[in-house]
Structure 1
Amino acid sequence: MKRLLTLVAAASLMPALASASILWKGDFETGNTSQWTRQQAVANSRLQVVTDVVRDGRYALKATVKQGDDPIGASGNRNELLYVTHETQGKEYYYKWSTLFPTNYPVNDSWQVITQWHQESCCGSPPLEFFVRGDKINLRVGGNTTPVLWQTSIDKGNWHDFVLHVKWSSDKKAGFVELWHNGEHVLPKTYGANQFGKELNYLKMGLYRDAAIKPEASIFHDGFTMATTLEDVMPPAPAPVEETPAPTPVPDDTNIPAEDPTPVIAPPTPNTPEQPSPQLPTTGQPPTTGTTPVSKNPTGVPDASEAATGGCSASGTSGTLPFASALLLLGAAALRRRRAPARALAPRAKR
């Protein structure tokens, strides 16, 4: 009891923190364990401040226990840090810390306390504790005869982030606990006695386990903070990720035939009436075969038949050519009639 009072007096002399709502930090950012009141360890090597496995800042605590480690001559094996937190009846606080079980942590089906608020008296189960059995972390309030309020896997190799809200009281209708784990509200306010009578509580953190457990084990703790508001211990929510707007789809015109921007419009075909072919008078000559016959007239002047069929189309737009041809044929016929009597009379004149 005298030792505990000495610890309380020493803690009251510690300098106050800058923030009125943050009452104390035991985050090891001093590079050692000087933030804590004292330690219960068989050697300094069992409670090492390390830099290779860290949750926040630059430093964290590595607590190691081997079978037979009993620094205070009590039940079980332990190596723990202790801080006198002055939890009294009716006080309400928020606590934050992180814990990691390495991948080689030995699983054992027996009790192993990792964080506890212990009563002033020396013996018995604490009024509030986080302990491991098998591969589960458990939260229990009121001693080892009360049920477990919350449980999760030890999840080797990954950090557990705890935020604990407590109103301390030995009255089961006034005291309560509330818990966030990894940012999730896993235990709403749950009422129950978390103090034993008028005894004060103090914090212990490290590793304390059944003396029957043989394998060596290590555990890591970091970032312990005690405050009066949730905002001072709750990690900020991650910033929302801005979504990149989807690009405007471009129509695929690879299979669309290109259109001529200047369509060609065919001119209208004139509706010209077909001209009838002229009917030539019959002259007793053989029908033509479509080719122009070679003239046998030695004078080079086309006769009536040549004039009628020579090289001009009968589908001309004028009716003058058929008419002139007819006149020419009539004139040629009249000339033959006049020449015939002359050729007949010529021999008679010579007689």
Structure 2
Amino acid sequence: MKRLLQLVAAASLMPALSFAGVIWKGDFETGNTSQWTRQQAVANSRLQVVTDVVRDGRYALKATVKQGDDPINASGNRNELLYLTHETQGKEYYYKWSTLFPSNYPVHDSWQVITQWHQESCCGSPPLEFFVRGDKINLRVGGNTTPVLWQTSIDKGNWHDFVLHVKWSSDKKAGFVELWHNGEHVLPKTYGANQFGKELNYLKMGLYRDAAIKPEGAIFHDGFTMATTLEDVMPPAPAPVEEPAPAPTPVPDDTTIPAEDPTPVTETPVTQTPQLPTTQLPTVGGQTPTPTPVSNNPNGLPDSSEGVAGGCSASGTSGTLPFAGALLMLGAIALRRRRAPARAVARRARR
């Protein structure tokens, strides 16, 4: 029994263990604001759950403020949702949410608070706040007398994804904040008091601004999650794209193929046509007739060189044979005339 009591006493001295997991969600996926504790708004229309502008899921919050909106009779104009998170000293949490400034969001030199962890007492600047001044989003811890820890452009029309890591403490050496913006680690652990004394904090989200700002302003919030580990709130990194393996480099082939011996060319002797003898014709009337070449055609027919295929060309040889025949006939007649007187003389001598 004594041993059991000692174990119970030792266990009571051990710090409380934080188990991984989501503590709370205020992401509006219920289709309304029922996830939140209550609201501070002049009308329900100032805090609308919408479906046309969302970051995650199907629903998001549209918070609208007009000059004069003062639902709690305090400084400034506001319409905000509250959740009593009641973070205590030494607790450590991760928070995730997204915010969008539409293209017509009014830019003003004065302050406009968009998300804050407020102390339990009623008045004064909160111990941790995200606020807009001009066209910049600012993160400040410890009240309005401390410097801004981080800043970026409001970048109208694009969602801002925030992941905030906080250890709550009124001790400036124990408390810290750490921030990721759009997946980038933009603020490493920065130590400082983020609670006022023993006061607990609670979350407020919407739009709270200087009463001097006249134009109507609207802002969108979505996906708020409170958890105990970074893995519960940080979107997974996109899988790396595998690049295709490079094509293998071809290896040069050093094998030399010997050239083949050239095939000797056999020269075929050209057969020359022998010159045929020509017959010398006797002179007739002082003119020598043109000799007629003998045809190489064994059949005695004229070949293509003798004008058969030449048609009616004036420069062809189609008239050569008739002309030669006429010359032969003239030669024969001349020989007969020469022989006739000789025969007559011989006859007279015989008589």
Tell me the TM-score range normalised by the shorter chain. Answer: 0.5 to 0.7
SS in 2 for 1:110: strand
Give 2:106's aligned residue: 106
Distance between the aligned counterparts of 1:115 and 1:73, measured in 2? 20
Q: Do the aligned partners of residues 283 and 111 (structure 1) sit closer, same or farther apart at CA in structure 2, a change above 3 Å counting?
A: same
Q: Do the aligned partners of residues 195 and 284 (structure 1) sit closer, same or farther apart at CA in structure 2, a change above 3 Å counting?
A: same
Residue 275 in structure 1 maps to residue 280 in structure 2:
no
Q: Do the aligned partners of residues 31 and 348 (structure 1) sit closer, same or farther apart at CA in structure 2, a change above 3 Å counting?
A: same
SS in 2 for 1:346: helix
Give 2:174's aligned residue: 174
Aligned AA (1:345): A
SS in 1 for 2:231: helix
Deviates more, 1:179-188 or 1:198-207: 179-188
Deviations 1:158-179 (A, max 9, x none): 3222122222233334333222
In the superposition, the TM-score normalised over structure 2's length comes to 0.66
Aligned-pair distance for 1:45?
A: 3.0
Check the 8 A contact 2:178/2:189 in 1, yes or no.
yes
Deviates more, 1:220-229 or 1:19-28: 19-28
* Percent of aligned pairs sharing the same letter: 82
Deviations 1:6-62 (A, max 9, x none): xxxxxxxxxxxxx95111000111122221122222333332223333222222222
Give 1:348's aligned residue: 349
Residue 290 of structure 2 is aligned with which of 280, 288, 291? 288
Q: Do the aligned partners of residues 294 and 217 (structure 1) sit closer, same or farther apart at CA in structure 2, a change above 3 Å counting?
A: same
Give 1:192's aligned residue: 192
Q: Do the aligned partners of residues 87 and 268 (structure 1) sit closer, same or farther apart at CA in structure 2, a change above 3 Å counting?
A: farther
Aligned AA (2:43): A
Give 1:312's aligned residue: none
Q: Do the aligned partners of residues 92 and 280 (structure 1) sit closer, same or farther apart at CA in structure 2, a change above 3 Å counting?
A: same
Q: Do the aligned partners of residues 95 and 276 (structure 1) sit closer, same or farther apart at CA in structure 2, a change above 3 Å counting?
A: same
Structure 1: runs of 5+ lacking an equivalent = 1-18, 245-266, 304-335
Q: Do the aligned partners of residues 123 and 341 (structure 1) sit closer, same or farther apart at CA in structure 2, a change above 3 Å counting?
A: same
Aligned-pair distance for 1:132?
A: 0.8
SS in 2 for 1:294: helix
Aligned-pair distance for 1:344?
A: 5.2
Distance between the aligned counterparts of 1:148 and 1:88, measured in 2? 24
Alignment of 1:156-175 (within 5 A): 156-175=156-175
Aligned AA (2:63): A
SS in 2 for 1:348: helix
Give 2:75's aligned residue: 75
Q: Do the aligned partners of residues 116 and 276 (structure 1) sit closer, same or farther apart at CA in structure 2, a change above 3 Å counting?
A: same
Deviates more, 1:281-290 or 1:92-101: 281-290
Aligned-pair distance for 1:140?
A: 1.2
Over aligned residues, Cα RMSD in angstroms?
Answer: 3.5
Distance between the aligned counterparts of 1:169 and 1:221, measured in 2? 27
Deviations 1:129-156 (A, max 9, x none): 1001112111112221222122222223
Q: Do the aligned partners of residues 33 and 277 (structure 1) sit closer, same or farther apart at CA in structure 2, a change above 3 Å counting?
A: same
Alignment of 1:136-151 (within 5 A): 136-151=136-151
Aligned length: 275
Aligned-pair distance for 1:201?
A: 1.8
Deviations 1:237-293 (A, max 9, x none): 45677999xxxxxxxxxxxxxxxxxxxxxx976422463554766855714166341
Distance between the aligned counterparts of 1:268 and 1:94, measured in 2? 99
Give 2:26's aligned residue: 26
